[in-house]
Structure 1
Amino acid sequence: MPRIDLDAYVAAHSYSWVRLEQLVALRKRNGAEADELVDRYQQVATHLSVVRTSAPDGELVAYLSSLLGRSRISMLASRVPTWRGVARFFTDQFPAALYRLRWWWLSCLAGNVVVIAIMMVWLAHHPEVEQSLISPQEVDQLVNSDFESYYSENAASAFATRVWINNTWVSALCIALGILGFPVIYLLFQNIAGVAIVGSIMTRHGRGELFWGLILPHGLLELTCVFVAGGVGLRLFWSWIEPGQVSRASSLARAGRTAVTVALGLGVVLFISGIVEAFVTPSPLPTWARIGIGILAEVLFLAYVFVVGRAAAARGATGDIGSDLLEDRVATQA
């Protein structure tokens, strides 16, 4: 490749280098500036290649290499969530998503509570069903030892982790399989059927107080999270059945991004529920105190949704984690 006039080359392209310096120095960029950063990076990478090949000037090569290195770090840093971004997720996006989808998960919650109640009453009046599901020896073991020991037989920290992973997995499945609809209903039924069967057995054998005393402290928040996931999963299914004024693909994409927001946030809420189940449920506190803690956790969650979430929705937050990026792209194209 023939040599180039280095002075002329620098004069012709120095503006791009200066502009890239300015973009790298920005602490916050809008969509147009982020796109320009990528474009300028590619231009300067080409300039560096030309200089190395046609006019190898050590000082200029070092400068352009350094500029490109800082640009790569800047682009990478812009993709890593900041503490401010994490805070905004929990003050705006997550509560807004919960609030905007409230009728879906509240309906799911109410429907499942009614089904649990009906199943428990029906099973309590049909003991022959219990006998077809579990042997008398297993009933005796469940009522007199297994149910109570379940919450204390393992170290609290290990138990909390196991509970958190299990509940997060169930909630994630409800959301991930939501696009198909029926699997969500099946998962929810499997979840509540277990509660109803054990509850009816414990109640029919005179251990109802023990059952509710152990299930309510953590179960209120835990089951609420599962029902939220179920409601969001069903909303995802409905987004392509009835897309409204947009295409099915756009409707599904928007609902999917919001579902991801809820899934991420529920992971944290279920972690709190797991801590309650591991440290409060088996604790020596009086039953009223343990249930009181469970009720307090549930009330705080609902307040988070209907106070923080309502305010976030009023500010324009949608829960769509891609909405800001899409707005930036539209602005860039405009």
Structure 2
Amino acid sequence: MDLDAFVTEHGGEWHRLRILLGRSRRKLTAAEVDEMVTLYRRTATHLSVVQSRSPDPNLVSVLTQLVLRARARLNPAPGFSAASMVRFLTVVFPLAAYRARWWCLGVAVGFVTVSTILIRLVATDQRVALEFMPENAVDDLVNHGFEAYYSEHPPQNFTFAVWTNNAWVSAVCLAGGVLVLPVLYLLWENALNLGIVGGLMVGHHRTDTFLGLLLVHGMLELTCIFVAAGVGLRIGWAWIAPGPLRTRGQSVAAAGRSGVAVAIGLVPVLLVSGFVEGFVTPAPLPPPVKLAFGAFVWLAFLAYMIGFGARAVRNGETADVDELDREAFAPTV
């Protein structure tokens, strides 16, 4: 392709597009907007031709910037709005979590069952724990380490560390859900850790200390992990069994978009959980008071998720992006 001839032939169109882009949106007439759309499409085609036939880096850079400017002008980002935030909090996030409720419940039952079995096993035969830690570490954990863990660092620092760690665990559950095994491994790793620590505390007759500290924040924290894991596994199942009307890619894409909503929605919830663990769990308050506060926060989250989620289902709402932003596809039957 003769690059100089190509530039000479179409340079006027590119210049005209620059002029239109330089004008205020309010000063453009309807005819000029139509002209801008036409020039944007032609310039995008020119860019494709140059990239495929004569990829001159300078011309590719100029045309790319021009196409991006035109696209941004013709399809501006919707930006933040209070209405979209309210909809996300009252419809999108709770609905996405509610639709995966049976997956989340299954994860919770499985996790609690495995953890309980491990706690009982370690409590009755503490030699099991010695396979994972030395004897001096066991003594330190039971007599000092478990309680000190919640108060040995400044509460604000501890809160941030817990928040980021739990957000990471939730993100792994959601991102790794399509592969299934990473989620199951992560759940097993956490259940094993809980089983060993809990078994040692119970076996040394410190059940009240173990539950009194763990349950304060653990009710909400573990629920968030269960939600993330349940939604992640649901994404994996969308790949395994996409159904008759969608391809695997389309099914995973739809489930993945809901998963992103859950990932975003869990961030502030995990922050609340981190605040409870950093400030309330180690606080010098009577255990019943701390447990009551932890239970209140946990039940409030469940009521929010179930209440708004069920209402969104009754109203026929969707947790997916707007229809115009989804890919178009025909039923695969």
Aligned residue number for residue 154 of structure 2: 155
The residue type paired with residue 18 of structure 1 is T
Deviation of the 1:149 alpha carbon: 1.1
1:19 aligns with 2:30: yes
The residue type paired with residue 307 of structure 2 is V
Bigger relative contact order (CA 8 A; separation at least 6): 1
Aligned residue number for residue 277 of structure 1: 277
Deviation of the 1:270 alpha carbon: 0.7
Q: Which stretches in structure 1 are left out of the alignment for 5+ residues?
A: 2-8, 24-35, 46-68
Structure 1 CA distance for aligned equivalents of residues 322 and 150 of structure 2: 40
Relative to structure 1, the CA distance from residue 72 to residue 230 in structure 2 (aligned partners, 3 Å threshold; closer, same or farther) is: closer
The residue type paired with residue 94 of structure 2 is P
Q: TM-score, normalised by structure 1?
A: 0.77
1:67-111 CA distance string (max 9 Å, x none): xx9995795452x23222122111110001111111111111111
Secondary structure, counterpart of 2:297 in structure 1:
helix
Q: TM-score, normalised by structure 2?
A: 0.77
Relative to structure 1, the CA distance from residue 205 to residue 16 in structure 2 (aligned partners, 3 Å threshold; closer, same or farther) is: same
Structure 2 CA distance for aligned equivalents of residues 20 and 226 of structure 1: 54
Aligned residue number for residue 197 of structure 2: 198
Aligned residue number for residue 247 of structure 1: 247
Secondary structure, counterpart of 1:127 in structure 2:
coil
Structure 2 CA distance for aligned equivalents of residues 81 and 312 of structure 1: 22
Runs of 4+ in 1 over 6 A off after TM superposition: none
1:107-152 CA distance string (max 9 Å, x none): 1111111111111111111221122222221111111211111111
Superposition pairs for residues 1-334 of structure 1, below 5 Å? 17-19=28-30, 39=37, 42=40, 75-78=75-78, 80-245=79-244, 246-321=246-321, 323=323, 325-326=325-326
The residue type paired with residue 152 of structure 1 is S
Relative to structure 1, the CA distance from residue 74 to residue 115 in structure 2 (aligned partners, 3 Å threshold; closer, same or farther) is: same
Deviation of the 1:39 alpha carbon: 2.7
Matched residue pairs, number?
283
Secondary structure, counterpart of 2:152 in structure 1:
coil
Aligned residue number for residue 31 of structure 1: none
1:264-320 CA distance string (max 9 Å, x none): 111121111001101110111110111111111111111112111111222222222
Relative to structure 1, the CA distance from residue 38 to residue 113 in structure 2 (aligned partners, 3 Å threshold; closer, same or farther) is: farther
Supply the RMSD in Å over aligned alpha carbons.
3.0
Q: Are the counterparts in 2 of residues 96 and 318 from structure 1 also a CA contact under 8 Å?
A: yes
Deviation of the 1:163 alpha carbon: 0.4
Structure 1 CA distance for aligned equivalents of residues 176 and 289 of structure 2: 37
Q: Which stretches in structure 2 are left out of the alignment for 5+ residues?
A: 1-7, 9-15, 21-25, 44-68
Deviation of the 1:324 alpha carbon: 5.8
Identity of aligned residues (%): 41
1:135-178 CA distance string (max 9 Å, x none): 22111111121111111111111111110000000110011111
The residue type paired with residue 301 of structure 1 is F
Aligned residue number for residue 60 of structure 1: none
